[in-house]
Amino acid sequence: MPSSNMQSVDDLDVAGKRVILRSDLNVPLDLTGTGEITDDGRIRASLPVISKLADRGARVIILAHLGRPAGADFAERAAGGPSLRPVAARLGELLGKPVAFATDVVGPAAAAVVAGLGDGDVAVLENVRYEPAETSKDDAARSSFAAQLAAFGDLYVGDGFGAVHRKHASVYDLPALLPHAAGDLVRDEVAVLQRLTKEPEGPFVVVLGGKKPSDKLGVISNLLGLADRILICGGMAYTFLAAQGYEVGNSVLEADRIPDVQEVTAEAARRGVELVLPVDLVVAEKFAPDADHKVVPASGIPAGWEGVDAGPETRVLFASKLADAKTVFWNGPAGVFEFPAFAAGTRAVAEAVARVDGLTVVGGGDSAAAVRALGIPESSFGHISTGGGASLEYLEGKTLPGLVALSGNAALPGDAALPGDAALPGDRA
């Protein structure tokens, strides 16, 4: 269960109040074409709390980020970074009513939009990361910006679990300035993650894919005391295969992490945790949807070829390793599922997880997008996370600043010193 120190949004009297809602609306956009949203899963996941607040008469002011805009000031970041305008438009379509949009965050446009809200109205302020102070490592800069944000609201609700691992102004500093509560997404996510980390029912099978092992080695290390099996797939598998001395051709590879992979592999063996790697792979001559491709043994990818999917024997193997599971955590696709020719491995994993009779958690990000893209009903899974990197850091045992802020004095889930913001690594937005 969530920490008793995290007040629920249901405990707040929101009627007629201005509620600043920190949501996670960091959706993928087609930046090579029209800029359209390619997967609105995170918007849909945020709808229940937005609707709950609006239906209870709150004046809802949504803060959210999109991508990692770069620049020295608001103007520079706004010129090159993605805007939340299409997100606000899509949110309005899903809510079935107009959603106001402010072209700045704490400037005159935001002030005018907030002042014009009536009971039950919803507004979205522009990408909060356009403001350099949002992500600053300078406590004073963040605090000053948080005070500007707090002036817009009477209450604060944190419902963006995907951002709670960031020591950012809208996540960490702002809750201290207003009466606050955790939204349902955050509370549900914590409840599920606690089930995964506190005596999960076995067999407990972890499936990890995606591009880089560096993003997930900490998760593997922390779960070695809990998991019965860990299946490694996707781009990160090639570093594991290289660590065994296999040739990986042009496949994605983190050569500098091979010693870490070897250490984790040895520790898994010492603990009796089964670490399962691909036995065959689909490889392609180039990274393209129509590339020539073939199946090869995982023990040797030819020079000039790169791995793009799990092979047919690996799909069967992984399904067999999931068949008796009672608890599953899956994070990361098994191949380039965006290309139909290389989606079979990810589909096989998704379908095997969906058949599990027990707690199944799809770890957000690309895995959740894959489930939707492949047309597998989300109801087939126990929980589809919106957490991304935040969920991974929780599973590593790290302290998450956003949960600390919402929990009063509870440093969930670990006891480590509260970190400053990391350099927004990899795919952990």
Element (DSSP H or E) covering residue 41: helix 41-55
How many whole angstroms separate alpha carbon 227 and alpha carbon 223?
A: 6
Give per-residue burial for 325-360: e unless 16+ CB within 10 Å, then b.
bbbbbbbbbbbbbebebbbbbbbbbbebbbebebbb
The count of other CB atoms within 10 Å of the CB of residue 93 is 11
Catalytic residue among 212, 257, 398, 428: 212
Q: Is 212 a catalytic residue?
A: yes
Tokens representing 390?
């935040």
DSSP assignment of 248-295, as one string?
ETTS---GGGHHHHHHHHHHHHHHT-EEE--SEEEEESSSSTT--EEE
**HSE of 104, CA atoms in CB hemisphere, 13 A:** 14
Q: Is 225 a catalytic residue?
A: no
Catalytic residue among 365, 387, 388, 402: 365
Contact 386, 40 (CB under 8 A): no
Parallel, antiparallel or unpaired: strands 155-158 and 300-301: unpaired
Q: Is 365 a catalytic residue?
A: yes
Give per-residue burial for 98-116: e unless 16+ CB within 10 Å, then b.
ebbbbbbbbeeebeebbee
Q: Is 332 a catalytic residue?
A: no
Catalytic residue among 17, 18, 22, 42: 42
Alpha helices in 96-216 (DSSP H): 108-115, 139-150, 184-197
Crossing angle for the helix pair 365-373 and 41-55, nearest 10 degrees? 100
Contact 134, 169 (CB under 8 A): yes
How many whole angstroms separate alpha carbon 146 and alpha carbon 417?
A: 22
How many whole angstroms separate alpha carbon 424 and alpha carbon 426?
A: 7
CB < 8 Å & 24+ apart, contacts of 263-271: 264/217, 264/220, 264/221, 264/224, 265/240, 267/221, 267/224, 268/220, 268/224, 268/230, 271/224, 271/225
How many whole angstroms separate alpha carbon 381 and alpha carbon 403?
A: 25
Alpha helices in 204-250 (DSSP H): 217-223, 237-243
- If you search the block for the tokens 């239906």, which residue do you land on? 55
List, by residue number, the catalytic residues: 42, 212, 365, 389
